[in-house]
Amino acid sequence: MPMVGFGTWTLKGQQGKKIILDALAAGYRLIDTAHMYGNEDIVGEAVAESRIPRDEIFITTKLCGTRAGYKLARQGIEESLERLQTDYIDLLLIHEPYAEAGDMYRALTEAYRSGQIRAIGISNFNAREYLTFIETCGIIPMVNQVECHVYYRRKELQQTLEAHGTKMQAWSPFTEGQKPIFREPVLQEVGKKYGKTAAQIALQYLVQQGISVIPKSSHRDRMIENLDIFDTTLTPDDIDRIYQLETGKTLFGWYDD
């Protein structure tokens, strides 16, 4: 799974497909979508039209509450495969900790064992919900995709996940506009040392600590910039300094940690 992917939330229609094609042309090889986004179809079209071999692209999607339950989840998997125009999904997640998550995960597990899904996981589970879930889920989730950014690093959650074999992935690494992260003085000052932008430092801070990220952008130059972080290594002092931005609070009200 690539450490930097491309988020597609809010992308719709032909304009949305063009943006996804731009991202693929810029070098992205992880495309993140979801039933809830209502755009799996344009992701599938963009992947097909890109002419990039399917096995070079990592597609993540998620089942939401409309497919909560075993039979509905099985149906949702088939729907995703059809809309994405593919015979396998690289990573399928349960979008939220629904009451029916266990039954949904049973459907994911069967599809994983049959080869329809290459990896399975969850999204937006806090540590308590995660630990309860893995007591009975069978296959340990390979990924937990959660809100994570410089203001909400969630180090303890990552430690809990990794102790049991689950990787943490960050949605909202730029806070979805909730904070002026691109003007954050600490990130700008650290960036000056390396000739990088505040945005690049915000991503590198997470990636360097083993958290994959899925930023969004509709601008080609910003897409390229967000991928251009792997020639920089932050020092322990840099990381400690950025950690001072930590608030310990969600910006979206999803979690009770």
Catalytic member of 28, 37, 151, 205 = 37
Residue pair 170/146 in contact by the 8 Å Cβ criterion: yes
Kindly calculate the radius of gyration of the chain based on its CA atoms and give it in whole angstroms.
18
Burial class for 14, CB neighbours closer than 10 Å (0-12, 13-18, 19+): exposed
Asked if 37 is an active-site residue, the reply is yes
Query: Among residues 236, 226, 201, which one has the least CA distance to residue 30?
Result: 226
Backbone φ and ψ of 117, nearest 5° = -125, 135
Q: Which are the contacts of 185, defined by CB distance < 8 A and separation ≥ 6?
A: none
95 is in an annotated binding site: yes
- Report, as residue numbers or ranges, the catalytic residues: 37
Annotated binding site for substrate: 95
Annotated binding site: 95
